[in-house]
Amino acid sequence: MNQKRTLILYLCLSAGAGILISLLVLFSPEHRTPLSILDSQLIGGVGIGCCVLGLSCVLYPNRLRRFLRSSEDREVSHTQEHTRVFQGHHPNCPLFDSHRVRWNNKEWCAGCLGLGIGLMLSIGLMLFFMTQVFQVTRTMVYMWLMVGFLLILLVYAELFRRSQQGVIHLLVNSGFIPGCTLVILSVVQLTGNLLFGLFTLLLCFLWVDTRMQLSEWQHHRLCSSCSETCKMYSRAGVSVLK
């Protein structure tokens, strides 16, 4: 299956997951048993664990890239290092300047940095949820759900129509994981069902993978439009979490 068809498949599956969650909460009984403190701590603990795992991938993407890439891909990248090198997880090519931000005299991947900020924000949201410091209305939780979906859609839209400013890419990506977290917490609050919350968390991995597919498609599209011969993204598997 070529990259474009794979991307369309991921987008359809992600849209289906969003529709499924919407139907799940719309048809949930309005008067349901509140989630127990133990269940709240369990879903919060699992969510925090996933965020910590995500932070390790953001901080050390090269380890994940070496795991995913084949030996053939590694050889191609090795021979291309004489033409282009990676800075901030991207080739030092003018076409990828908007994919990086400069801070403290160092090049950073705007997407990874944004995701890292979002993961830390999500850990805070999960901790806040686990404390149950106040009661929320059903209307407020529906607003959480809508905001969560909007944040996810915003990231997808930004990847399709890529901004020319690395800071904007960073800010948009920083809302992606909090958006997923709001969806998870909304489902748990509206249904009062721990299993539905864990199921939604699994669907969030699909949304994250779809974001990676969109990013990879964007990288290959930019690289193929370039007149240079280095073609750092000429093979699948080079782009991870950008």
Greatest mean pLDDT among 75-79, 112-116, 122-126: 122-126
As a whole number, mean pLDDT of residues 112-125 equals 92
Is residue 241 within 8 Å of 42, Cβ to Cβ? no
Judged on CB neighbours under 10 Å (0-12, 13-18, 19+), 160 is: exposed
What does pTM read for this prediction? 0.82
At 207, list the tokens.
């949304």
Q: What is the mean pLDDT of residues 156-162?
A: 84
Give the phi and the psi of residue 241 in degrees, each rounded to 5. Answer: 55, 40
The H or E element containing residue 109 is strand 106-109
Amino acid occupying residue 29: P
Q: How far is CA 150 from CA 45, 112, 129, 144, 168, in A?
A: 25, 20, 21, 10, 16
In this prediction, residue 106 carries a pLDDT of: 75
**Confidence label for 198 from pLDDT (cuts 50, 70 and 90):** very high
Q: Where residue 82 falls among pLDDT bands split at 50, 70, 90?
A: very low
Instruction: Please say whether the dihedral angle defined by the alpha carbons of residues 83, 3, 147 and 177, taken in this order, is positive or negative.
Output: negative
Phi, psi of 92 (to 5 degrees): -80, 60
Joined together, the tokens standing for residue 22 give 């919407």
- Calpha distance 49→158 (Å, rounded): 28
